Amino acid sequence: MAKRSAGVLLYRRAGDSVEVLIAHPGGPIWARRDTAAWSIPKGAPLDSELDLLVSARREFEEETGHPAPDGIPIDLGEVRMRSGKVVHAWAYEGNLDPRAFASIEAEVEWPPRTGLTVIVPEIDRVMWAHPAEARRRLNPAQAEFVDRLLAALART
């Protein structure tokens, strides 16, 4: 069975367009990567979480330091990452000051295959991006969520 992950794509209206909140992974592996390295705030469900939306909302708060907005989410469905992991996402309209985010930390092996570990933030920064910029920076599979959000908003 493929590993699963769940996340929230936060969006806000910006004139006639929208912006989406994207997150850059923390740690030395990602320090110099930008294009196709960003993600939506997401993570694996806990064993006790049967509802992926609950997981997505918890992960958003853990990775940004802010609860996901209330309201009715837009279900953006699933994408399969190149690694085989399946990510399910929901979009919420809201706002967040990128300077006010605070991510939880994780222990990672660094340098690779040494047995040594370092503590790094899961996310080292977040930013608001217009759709074209978000598609460029996001992991290619997750860029599909931006297109799905735009299509859903166009139907409303």
Task: Give pLDDT, residue 1.
Answer: 66
pLDDT at 15 over 90: no
Cα 137 to chain centroid, rounded: 12
Cα 113 to chain centroid, rounded: 27
Residue with tokens 């769940």: 6
Question: Taking a C-beta distance cutoff of 8 angstroms, is the pair 7, 41 a contact?
Answer: yes
Residue 138: partners with Cβ closer than 8 Å, 6 or more residues away: 22, 36, 38, 39, 40, 145, 146
pLDDT at 56 over 80: yes
pLDDT at 156 over 90: no
Task: Give pLDDT, residue 103.
Answer: 95
**Which tokens go with 100?**
């006010």
More reliable by pLDDT, 37 or 14 = 37
Task: Give pLDDT, residue 130.
Answer: 97
3-state secondary structure of 153: helix
Mean per-residue pLDDT of the chain: 95
Task: Give pLDDT, residue 129.
Answer: 98
Cα 41 to chain centroid, rounded: 2
Task: Give pLDDT, residue 98.
Answer: 95
Task: Give pLDDT, residue 94.
Answer: 97
Task: Give pLDDT, residue 2.
Answer: 75
Mean pLDDT on 85-105? 96
Mean pLDDT on 124-139? 97
Structural domain spans, the chain:
4-155
Mean pLDDT on 107-127? 95
pLDDT at 39 over 70: yes
Task: Give pLDDT, residue 138.
Answer: 98
Task: Give pLDDT, residue 14.
Answer: 85
pLDDT at 23 over 90: yes
Classify 4-155 by CATH class.
alpha beta
Mean pLDDT on 74-99? 97
Distance CA 9, CA 130 (A): 13
